[in-house]
A and B are shown apart, each in its own frame.
Chain A
């Protein structure tokens, strides 16, 4: 995978200290927000967890300058993403965030385009297939977490481009795509 070019501020130590002056902090958080989004987009990371180890999600620590963001700072940054509609909390305890480097509406378009590309209009597909089936591997849908998939499918439904349904109680959830 091509290297992700880090912005200059990532090597600038003060950026890893939550700034005490309000206006300065605002600028700091704005920069981090942009970085988190582009970093996750580049690496196709969907979920950021406050409990993740540094090697799972290394962005919040820069070993080269021996600085890392405090838990409080990370929490605020994720909160910023959620507040601006670029993220959704998973679970009530606000420790895991679904990062929307692509909006739900855009994901809906992506799914529909994928369905069209695979000749699946007026076809039925199960949710499990969309999560891990053969046609999904290597496509734009690969790795999508369940929560994101569900949200995007609901949007497609609202647009009349798909219907989500259950068969009987034992069946997986199904999706029918329309042209």
Chain B
């Protein structure tokens, strides 16, 4: 593969090269974002479960709404990642992807602001359903624990072991002030 004509003809960085690099960067960033979101979803689920065990329904619902939002973002990211993987090296496709990514970034900022405002983006029904499911699960666990079948459906708050102090404190702090590491399961 000798370059008999000399010069830098073969050693140029083309626009296609730059485009590929951009794609790879996007993909890496999306992957990183995906991992972070996965972690957030896990954390919110743990918080919600704990709150349900404490009988704090409203707070639990809040956590579940957040979890769903993260989940939606994850779906979106997955689609983007799929796009990046399947994409041909054609400039138009790349440009389309760029604008999609810009859209994704916009979406993200919208989601961030939403946490302080209304919940119109979240499927309320689904959030409630999940809450109910968690409560039922909790009940099942209690049924297995107690020696006799309880008469009432609602769990007696006093019978449930309290969560570690740090979990309670964590659930109570606003999202932005929380530390990064996930909660113990």
Note whether A and B contact each other (Cβ less than 8 A): yes
Binding site for B on A (CB under 8 A): 124-126, 128-129, 160, 163, 165-168, 170-172, 174, 176, 178-179
Among B11, B20, B21, B25, which residue has the most Cβ atoms of chain A within 10 A? Answer: B21
B13 near A129: Cβ-Cβ < 8 Å: no
B17 near A172: Cβ-Cβ < 8 Å: no
Q: Which residues of B contact A168 (CB under 8 A)?
A: 18, 22
With both beta carbons as reference points, the residue of chain B lying nearest to A163 in the complex is identified as B13
Which 8 pairs from chain A and chain B are nearest by CB? A174-B21, A171-B25, A167-B21, A126-B24, A172-B25, A124-B20, A179-B1, A167-B18
Binding site for A on B (CB under 8 A): 1, 10-11, 13, 17-22, 24-25, 28
A165 near B13: Cβ-Cβ < 8 Å: yes
A167 near B1: Cβ-Cβ < 8 Å: no
Shortest C-beta distance, A82 to chain B (Å), equals 33
A178 and B2 alpha carbons, distance in the complex (Å): 11
Q: How many A-B residue pairs have CB under 8 A?
A: 47
Q: Which residues of A contact B20 (CB under 8 A)?
A: 124, 174
Interface of B is mostly: helix
Shortest C-beta distance, B55 to chain A (Å), equals 45
A170 and B98 alpha carbons, distance in the complex (Å): 12
Partner of B28, one of A160, A163, A172, A176: A172
With both beta carbons as reference points, the residue of chain A lying nearest to B2 in the complex is identified as A179
Shortest C-beta distance, B98 to chain A (Å), equals 10
B17 near A124: Cβ-Cβ < 8 Å: yes
Known: A126-B24, A174-B17. 11 other contacts (CB 8 A): A124-B21, A124-B24, A126-B25, A126-B28, A166-B21, A167-B22, A168-B18, A168-B22, A170-B25, A171-B18, A171-B22
Shortest C-beta distance, A114 to chain B (Å), equals 17
A-B contact pairs, 7 of them (CB 8 A): A124-B17, A124-B20, A126-B24, A128-B24, A165-B21, A168-B22, A176-B17
Partner of B24, one of A129, A160, A165, A178: A129
With both beta carbons as reference points, the residue of chain A lying nearest to B21 in the complex is identified as A174
Shortest C-beta distance, B2 to chain A (Å), equals 9
Q: Which residues of B contact A129 (CB under 8 A)?
A: 24, 28
